[in-house]
Chain A
Amino acid sequence: MKRFSGFSGFSFSRWLGIMLKEFIQLKRDRLTFGMIVGIPIIQLLLFGFAINSDPKQLPTAVVMADPGPFARAYVAAMQNSDYFRIVGSVDERQADDLLDRSEVQFVVTFAPGFHRDLVRGKSPVLLVEADATDPMATSGAIAVLNHLGAEVFAPDLPGLERPTAAPLELRVHRRYNPEGLTAYHIVPGLLGVILTLTLVLMTGLAMTRERERGTFENLLATPATPVEVMTGKIVPYILIGLIQVTLILAAARWIFDVPMHGSLLLLYAVVLLFICANLLLGITFSSIARNQLQAMQMTFFFFLPSMLLSGFMFPFRGMPQWAQMVGNALPLTHFLVLVRGIMLKGNGIEQLWDHSWPIMLFIAAVLAIGLKTFRKTLD
């Protein structure tokens, strides 16, 4: 079997030739061009409104400035409600950091004097900070908190004075998305979904199209190497991806009023990483598939879990364990956290690493598979 072996004999001029050819062919292909603009628009329209869901066991950190039996009872009740999973007790600075990194969904702060005020019936403030980048994920849990105070600190609880009003005042801060707008969540997500669909699909067809038309035989009869062909064919689509991203970001900014707290440059860097992952996957599908139909099927086989299990459709933390494991293997899952982190939380490089390396790992794995399966013959 003649399979790919090493980067030996790479010719820049040949690579350039393959890339230029792909550009020219793309330019003449009206349908594909329509897809580049059409898919983002259709998806923006379709998913502009959200699908609801009610996730439980959301990771929650507690800032316990005033420990006491009542605070502990309250925390226990939170845990019993099944909506919260207490991950630990931290200080305020750590709590902020955990929210920024998306490691917890909630931070519950018991302020100094909580115990004293509660005992005296003075309705102490209970501060709940929620990561509202995905407002669907938090709404159920917050609704539960609203009842919890009255249940835990029932009027007949020994040791409590008769409160005049509610036993405590719940103050909820929806961090990153104060108004709980679903567009904040959906639009950055669409960025990833659209890139996944169009790029995997278009590159998926790139090589199978040559095979079906019989032109692949001509390409194979030349000295062009697999690396030249694969990477040369990818480049035009990187540009297409960047155009799509710019389109969606413009829509996010001027139609959906999604804020942009982080660095645009950083966002594009992350986008580029994600584009590479998708293109390599597409071109690998392309070299495995026998025809365009198969390439299309592979694309959808990959696209569906990406859409359903990445946290785009349903809150990631609301998914069962196995689904989260599958989701974690998909680049879209990490890309969503990265994009929301940059746009809504203003994350910088230091907060992004946790979700960048899985995408890099994905790229390396796919590249290895792609080069291994690239057929240098017609066998």
Chain B
Amino acid sequence: MKIEKGGAPLVIDVAGINKHFGDKHVVKDLSLQVRRGEIFGFLGPNGSGKTTSIRMLCGLLTPDSGSGSCLGLDVLTQSSQIKRQVGYMTQKFSLWDDLTIGENLDFVARMFGMKKRRVVVDRALDELGLTGRRDQLAGTLSGGWKQRLALASCLLHEPQLLLLDEPTAGVDPKARRDFWEEIHRLSAAGITVLVSTHYMDEAERCHRLAYIAYGTLMASGTAAEVVAGQRLQTWEIAGADLQGLGQALRALPGADLVASFGATLHVCGRDGAALEASLTDFLSDRPLTMSRVAPSLEDAFIDLMQGSQDQFKE
């Protein structure tokens, strides 16, 4: 495994990956480095190519071009070996609805050629707290339970790397919090996790992240690096009746984006001096306050999304 300077070994290291569906260019020159043991967030709006990228990493789709390794194995030629060490949780629940919980786990354990199958399955059921419901059909489980079952099933063979595709979509907040605790526990145990999401709060729980839009990787690094990379200067506007102001603020010279942030508005721009001048002027006859704040990750993402729209909407 290649070692990035000063860091842990790289579990995923791909470069120049492309994928077309028909004449649709879905993933463009993707390069991604994920270090061992980290939780890597993969962010981007719907249809930006997250699922497609993940499928290429574990050999379910063949890239049109590009190269790289996953767990030290070639993603183009060694996908069958990669599969043995990767736990892949699909975006849509993909266990068998018409098999029971126990049968599903048993089947997956068989497919991975587990030695002590019964022991492994019993332990997984026990940890899930589903021992009493092992004979229940998987299709009858609620969303949160399906998600836990799916995670348990892709952990059965003790993978080195977890690829989780929007694992918390449609799951209630409590289950989401529990899920993230579990992910951090796994990461602490040395398992590398790549997780795609479009929840902002989840992005902040990741060690590092990448933002992809329209198939193009727009930014990557730690949350702080991503925010810094946008070189935004942000002012927070507070006061009553902020609703109608967005349009006017957006039109100000120097304002690149306006986003509501709780009960306040964030106005961000790259040209700080110009923005500060026009804001001061704009607020002079209004009962509002402005204060300089650090840009949030959300500001950075909104900026990234706007940037990509400008770039691709001809």
**A59 interfacial by beta-carbon distance below 8 Å:** no
Is B99 an interface residue, CB under 8 A from the partner? yes
Contacts of A166-214 to chain B: CB distance below 8 A? 213-214
Closest to A27 in B: B98
Taking the closest CB of chain A, its distance from the CB of B252, in whole angstroms, is 48
Answer whether residue B44 sits at the interface, using C-beta atoms and an 8 A cutoff: no
Query: A223 contacts B80, CB within 8 Å?
Result: yes
Judge if B307 is at the interface, Cβ distance under 8 Å: no
Cβ of A321 within 8 Å of any chain B Cβ, yes or no, is: no
Q: Roughly how many angstroms separate A276 CA and B95 CA in the complex, as a whole number?
A: 29
B112 within 8 A of A: yes
Residue from B98, B111, B137 in contact with A224 in the complex, judged by beta carbons closer than 8 Å: B111
Q: Given contacts A11-B113, A14-B113, is CB(A221)–CB(B95) below 8 Å?
A: no
Residues of A within 8 A of B58 (CB): 221
CA distance A11 to B55 in the complex (A): 24
Q: Are B96 and A21 in contact (CB under 8 A)?
A: yes
User: Contact flags (1/0) for B106-128 with A, using CB distance below 8 Å?
Assistant: 11101111000000000000000
Q: A377 to B62, Cβ gap below 8 A? A: yes
CA distance A222 to B95 in the complex (A): 12
Contacts A21-B103, A29-B98, A378-B60; A217 near B90 (Cβ below 8 A) = yes
A293 shortest CB reach to chain B, Å: 20
Chain B residue at minimal CB-CB distance from A222 = B111
CB <8 Å contact, B98 and A221: no
Q: Once the chains bind, are B99 and A222 in contact (CB under 8 Å)?
A: no
Residues of A1-47 whose CB lies within 8 A of B: 1-2, 9, 11, 13-14, 16-18, 20-21, 24-25, 28-29
**B83 A221 Cβ-Cβ under 8 A:** yes
Residues of chain B in range 61-117 having any CB-CB distance to chain A below 8 Å: 61-62, 79-80, 83-84, 86, 88, 90, 92-99, 103, 106-108, 110-113
Q: Are B108 and A222 in contact (CB under 8 A)?
A: yes
Q: Could you tell me the distance in whole angstroms from the C-beta of A6 to the nearest C-beta in chain B? A: 12
**Number of B residues whose C-beta is below 8 Å from A?**
30
Q: Which of A346-379 touch B at CB < 8 Å?
A: 377-379
A264 to chain B, nearest CB (A): 36
In the complex, the answer to whether B110 meets A16 with C-beta atoms within 8 Å is yes
Q: Are B83 and A222 in contact (CB under 8 A)?
A: yes
Q: Which residues of A contact B79 (CB under 8 A)?
A: 2
Contacts of A222 in B (CB 8 A): 83, 108, 111-112
A164 on the interface (CB 8 Å rule)? no
Q: Which residues of B contact A16 (CB under 8 A)?
A: 110
Question: B99 — which chain A residues lie within 8 A by C-beta?
Answer: 21, 24-25
CB neighbours (8 Å) of A9 from chain B are 80
Contacting residue for B90 out of A17, A21, A218, A224, CB 8 A: A218
The answer to whether A378 and B55 touch across the interface, beta carbons within 8 angstroms, is yes
Complex-state Cα separation, A221 to B157, whole angstroms: 12
Q: Which of B86, B88, B92, B111 contacts A14 (CB 8 A)?
A: B111
- Known contacts A1-B62, A223-B80; A218/B113 CB under 8 A: no
Residues of A within 8 A of B144 (CB): none
Contacts of A214 in B (CB 8 A): 90, 92-94
Least distance between B148 CB and chain A CB atoms (Å): 16
Beta-carbon contact of B98 and A25 below 8 Å: yes
Q: Is B92 a contact partner of A221 (Cβ separation < 8 A)?
A: no
A16→B107 CA distance, assembly (Å): 10
Minimum CB–CB distance from A290 to chain B (whole Å) comes to 13
Chain B residues within 8 Å of A, Cβ to Cβ: 55, 58-62, 79-80, 83-84, 86, 88, 90, 92-99, 103, 106-108, 110-113, 137
Show 8 residue pairs from A and B whose CB-CB distance is below 8 angstroms, ordered by the A residue. A13-B113, A17-B110, A28-B137, A214-B93, A214-B94, A218-B94, A221-B60, A378-B60
Considering the complex of A and B, which 4 residue pairs feature the smallest CB-CB distances, nearest first? A17-B110, A222-B111, A218-B94, A221-B88
A218-B94, A221-B83 given. 7 additional CB < 8 A pairs? Answer: A21-B107, A28-B137, A220-B60, A222-B83, A222-B112, A223-B80, A223-B112
